[in-house]
Amino acid sequence: MTEYHPQELDAKWQKHWADTQAFEVTEDPSKPKFNFLEMFAYPSGHAHVGHVRNYIIGDVVSRLKRLQGFNVLHPFGWDAFGLPAENAAIKNGIHPETSTLGNIAHMKGQLQRLGISYAWGRELATCLPNYYRWNQWLFTRMFEKGLAYRRRSTVNWCPVDATVLANEQVVDGACWRCGTAVVQKDLEQWFFKITHYADDLLHAAEGLSKWPEKVLTMQRNWIGRSEGAKVKFPIQGEDASIEVFTTRIDTIYGATFVMLAPEHGLVTSFAKQSQDEKAFMEKAQRFRSQDRAGRLTGEVAKEGFFTGRFAINPFTHKPVPIWVANYVLGEYGTGAVMAVPAHDDRDLDFATKYDLPIVTVVNDDGVLVESGKYDGRLADDARRAITEEAEERGIGEGTVQFRLKDWGISRQRYWGTPIPMIHCPVDGVVPVPDDQLPVTLPNITEFTGRGDSPLASVPEFVNVACPKCGGPARRETDTMDTFVDSSWYFYRFADAHNDQMPFDPKKVAYWCPVDFYSGGIEHAILHLIYSRFFARVFHDLGMTEHTEPFTHLLTQGMVLKDGAVMSKSKGNVVDPDSMIQKYGSDALRLYVMFVAPPEKEVEWSDSGLEGSFRFLARVWRAADQWREQAMVSGSGAVEHASLTAAERAMRRKTHDTVRRVTQDIDVRQQMNTAVSAMMELVNELYAFTDKGERSAQAPKVAREAIEALVVMLSPFAPHTMEELWQMFGHQGGLAGAAWPVCDADVAKAEELEIPVQVNGKLRGRVTVAPDITDQELEALALADPNVHRILRKLAEGELDSFGDISTLADPAVVA
């Protein structure tokens, strides 16, 4: 009897995998490739079981694919730049590099103790110059193509993190990281022109058939395409006009006033012409400050004030008052809106409050009224016709608006990629030449968190010669948003050590797109839309052949403890290492997969983990019990026909389990039911061992079951299964094993128990051969005493409906 000591097996096999470099791969055109990627990790210090769940999902599929003969790339890396490390440095004086590299070392150890099958030879960390130099290289390419540009704009500013945030990073008016209410600020900023791809990002999403509908919907909403028209309303008494955007140009005859966003450029000039400029601007200013942060608290009442000026409705030719309204957004459309109170609830609210005219121009049947020559036309039709007229008259045009805005990537912080640009008083903005990359982060010893960009305080960094004229110039001191780092790292894994290019296009052509990507739903918009954007940029640079980086996406659910998301601050973190110490890593891996389907949230349970440990010990004992006999009898072919009924049933279960497990992992990614199926197989094996009628071939039958089980369980519990595989006499480890194949003939049932329903209710069961004819089956069903009794009752009218008998395999009806 060999005892099950999982912790010893963990150590033994982890060493074996490291020594044999078991998971390192190279391009091999003769093999089908499979690229499985889990979202890389922010090195926060410690991984808890919630983080780890995702890595286990990835490992199960990766190990399955290897056993199926795929050339599997399964890499890992670190999203290592970012604010927490810098904020920690301000607090405790430890340099971000020191803390980050320390955290990476610790977390890497945690993942290795779990036995995740990563190709560690390709490990990357975004905070290292050999990675971020390619951010800079790409930035320069984007600058050349006009996809990176600089402009002054109103930005979201987090006062606590002391930096700009992208719109995507503002959640409910607050900073996505620290939760502080975001304020608006005017700054000169670098932007990536993601809007260039807005339409393509939207349309191509339709083709992402293996992405969750939820994520696609979120992306669609985020891009927010709407078709409409821009129309100019001349300003009375001036040779100027206000351009509005509307999706309902068919209601333009009902536009009884015009509204400007408080940020609109005309607000300042109207203020100057007003009687009290100061009061005017104060009101506008108040609306602006309400804009984002104010909405966090919920309802901000609609408010506005009359500018004192009028515009001319270009269709009714009547003067309409111009108002400033707090619910008109400066950054959407043209920042000005025509108000049609009769056909827009918001405008109606506003018009009612300020007693502005309401004119109905579309009746209940969708037909235009009070609309001049368009009276009697259907709204849809009128929309086209009025747009055409506006175009002919040169006062408007049909257009498409997106909610998506360009991505502001400048950050006034230290711990990020330096933007590789130089400001020259003579030549303007000049990129750092490629042969001078990387622009490395200077070492800073004191982190204060005050003032401008920390890099601005390092004179030897800031003061440089202009690459063009050689004159004195000033280096850009902002760093890049860390989402730049994560928008293309999946390509770097295909060629992680290239020092000439971000990657060799040939290697990416082999490994990419990523076949299977898994990670948290919280990245549904930010990271996934930016990555899709970068994939298009690389494509347009001629470096890749595809535009969609991730073929299959799985968003895994979180692990809760006591009903809440695990977090250090809540103190409900479950540490994988303590679980491994108690039960071994395999039990932890198995439990996390068994408890629920991957995309579902789960509640952590210590006793559930213990159950998984018990199961592994049970598998171990079964294998141990049969080992000697199995070794003696060898693994040669079994003569199926000469087996006892119990042996045939055992084989049937084995092959049927192979079918189910393969389907569950490979096709459905329902790891929990795959584990259930294997538990059933083990239960069957115990029953067979205990009391099944056995022939001389029994050890072969048991061996077949056990070896299939060992291979199928190995993605979940690799250490234990490697050991059992070796115990059954196999050399070279599971790397040499093949995924079992279901023999359909063996898996087929010899007899079927068929439930018999009468009027949809179960009334009996008959046991039959699988090749029975319908007539025979019906006769047998009718012969069942209970079925017979019920049918007689029906015939006697005791029950009020007609008899309808059906067998589940083969529904049949009798009167």
Partner RNA sequence: GCCGGGGUGGCGAAACUGGCAGACGCACAGGACUUAAAAUCCUGAGAGGGUAACCCCCUCGUGCGGGUUCGAUUCCCGCCCCCGGCACCA
Residues in region 579-618 near RNA by CB under 7 A: 594-597, 600-603, 605, 607-608, 610-612, 614-615, 617-618
CA distances from residue 82 to 88, 177, 684, 791 in whole angstroms, order as listed: 11, 10, 53, 74
Binding part of the chain for RNA, among 30-38, 211-219, 438-446, 630-638 by CB under 7 A, reads 211-219
User: What is the longest distance spanned by two Cα atoms in the chain?
Assistant: 109
**Does position 761 bind RNA by CB under 7 A?**
yes
**72/293 with CB nearer RNA:** 293
The residues, ordered by sequence, that sit 6+ positions from 251 with a Cβ below 8 Å of its Cβ are 340, 342, 343, 344, 361, 362, 379
**Does position 92 bind RNA by CB under 7 A?**
no
Strand, coil or helix: 114: coil
Name the residue among 635, 592, 588, 637 with its Cα closest to residue 616: 588
Tokens 């006999």 correspond to 629
Site for RNA, residues 390 to 449, rule: CB under 7 A: 401, 403
Alpha helices in 520-605 (DSSP H): 526-540, 576-583, 585-594
What's the 3-state SS for 330-352?
CCCCCCEEEECHHHCHHHHHHHH
Tokens of 310: 């009028």
Contact 176, 185 (CB under 8 A): no
Q: How far is the CB of 108 from RNA (least distance, A)?
A: 30
**375/603 with CB nearer RNA:** 603
Q: How far is the CB of 83 from RNA (least distance, A)?
A: 19
**181/687 with CB nearer RNA:** 687
Site for RNA, residues 106 to 135, rule: CB under 7 A: none
What is the CB neighbour count within 10 angstroms for residue 404?
Answer: 22
**Contacting RNA (CB under 7 A), which of 248, 527, 532, 653?**
248
Q: How many chain residues are in contact with RNA, going by CB under 7 A?
A: 85
Contact 742, 611 (CB under 8 A): no
**Does position 210 bind RNA by CB under 7 A?**
no
The residues, ordered by sequence, that sit 6+ positions from 284 with a Cβ below 8 Å of its Cβ are 262, 267, 271, 324
Site for RNA, residues 651 to 680, rule: CB under 7 A: 660, 663, 670, 672-673, 675-676, 679-680
**Contacting RNA (CB under 7 A), which of 321, 513, 715, 764?**
764
Q: How far is the CB of 519 from RNA (least distance, A)?
A: 14
**Contacting RNA (CB under 7 A), which of 137, 354, 686, 728?**
686
Q: How far is the CB of 58 from RNA (least distance, A)?
A: 19
Binding part of the chain for RNA, among 108-116, 210-218, 449-457, 695-703 by CB under 7 A, reads 210-218
Q: Report phi then psi at 84, rounded to 5.
A: -55, -40
Binding part of the chain for RNA, among 471-479, 528-536, 712-720, 761-769 by CB under 7 A, reads 761-769
Q: How far is the CB of 800 from RNA (least distance, A)?
A: 12
**Does position 683 bind RNA by CB under 7 A?**
yes
Binding part of the chain for RNA, among 46-54, 539-547, 722-730, 755-763 by CB under 7 A, reads 755-763
**107/681 with CB nearer RNA:** 681
Is the sign of the CA dihedral 736, 741, 743, 749 positive or negative?
positive
**Does position 154 bind RNA by CB under 7 A?**
no
The DSSP-derived string for 722-783 is HHHHHHTT-SS-GGG-------HHHHS-SSEEEEEEETTEEEEEEEE-TT--HHHHHHHHHH
Strand, coil or helix: 229: strand
**264/413 with CB nearer RNA:** 264
Q: How far is the CB of 249 from RNA (least distance, A)?
A: 8
Binding part of the chain for RNA, among 271-279, 633-641, 738-746, 759-767 by CB under 7 A, reads 759-767
**Does position 217 bind RNA by CB under 7 A?**
yes
**Does position 221 bind RNA by CB under 7 A?**
yes
Site for RNA, residues 514 to 533, rule: CB under 7 A: 521, 525
Contact 629, 623 (CB under 8 A): no
**Does position 172 bind RNA by CB under 7 A?**
yes
**Does position 78 bind RNA by CB under 7 A?**
no
Question: How far apart, in whole angstroms, are the C-alpha atoms of residue 645 and residue 640?
Answer: 10
Question: How far apart, in whole angstroms, are the C-alpha atoms of residue 535 and residue 545?
Answer: 10
CA dihedral 88, 91, 97, 98 (to 10 degrees): -100
**Contacting RNA (CB under 7 A), which of 80, 271, 311, 328?**
328
Contact 467, 421 (CB under 8 A): no
Q: How far is the CB of 603 from RNA (least distance, A)?
A: 6
Peptide bond before residue 513 is cis, with ω within 30 degrees of 0: yes
**Does position 570 bind RNA by CB under 7 A?**
no
**Does position 171 bind RNA by CB under 7 A?**
yes
Q: How far is the CB of 753 from RNA (least distance, A)?
A: 5
Contact 746, 655 (CB under 8 A): yes
Task: Kindly write out the interface string for residues 771-790 of this chain, putting x where it contacts RNA by CB under 7 A and - elsewhere.
Answer: ---------------x---x
> Looking at residue 133, what DSSP letter applies?
H
What is the CB neighbour count within 10 angstroms for residue 741?
Answer: 11
Tokens 């072919």 correspond to 637
Question: How far apart, in whole angstroms, are the C-alpha atoms of residue 484 and residue 490?
Answer: 12
Contact 529, 553 (CB under 8 A): no
**127/293 with CB nearer RNA:** 293
Site for RNA, residues 617 to 636, rule: CB under 7 A: 617-618, 621
Question: How far apart, in whole angstroms, are the C-alpha atoms of residue 83 and residue 416?
Answer: 9
Q: How far is the CB of 609 from RNA (least distance, A)?
A: 9
Site for RNA, residues 225 to 244, rule: CB under 7 A: 226, 228
Q: How far is the CB of 215 from RNA (least distance, A)?
A: 8
**Contacting RNA (CB under 7 A), which of 160, 181, 187, 218?**
218
Task: Kindly write out the interface string for residues 697-736 of this chain, putting x where it contacts RNA by CB under 7 A and - elsewhere.
Answer: ----------------------------------------
Binding part of the chain for RNA, among 20-28, 224-232, 430-438, 511-519 by CB under 7 A, reads 224-232
**51/248 with CB nearer RNA:** 248
Question: How far apart, in whole angstroms, are the C-alpha atoms of residue 627 and residue 616?
Answer: 16
CA distances from residue 707 to 143, 561, 681 in whole angstroms, order as listed: 58, 36, 12
Q: Are strands 77-78 and 124-125 parallel, antiparallel or unpaired?
A: parallel
Q: How far is the CB of 677 from RNA (least distance, A)?
A: 7
**Contacting RNA (CB under 7 A), which of 445, 760, 798, 815?**
760
Question: How far apart, in whole angstroms, are the C-alpha atoms of residue 16 and residue 725?
Answer: 14
Site for RNA, residues 277 to 316, rule: CB under 7 A: 295, 299-302
**577/610 with CB nearer RNA:** 610
**145/203 with CB nearer RNA:** 203
Q: How far is the CB of 806 from RNA (least distance, A)?
A: 4
Question: How far apart, in whole angstroms, are the C-alpha atoms of residue 73 and residue 33?
Answer: 8
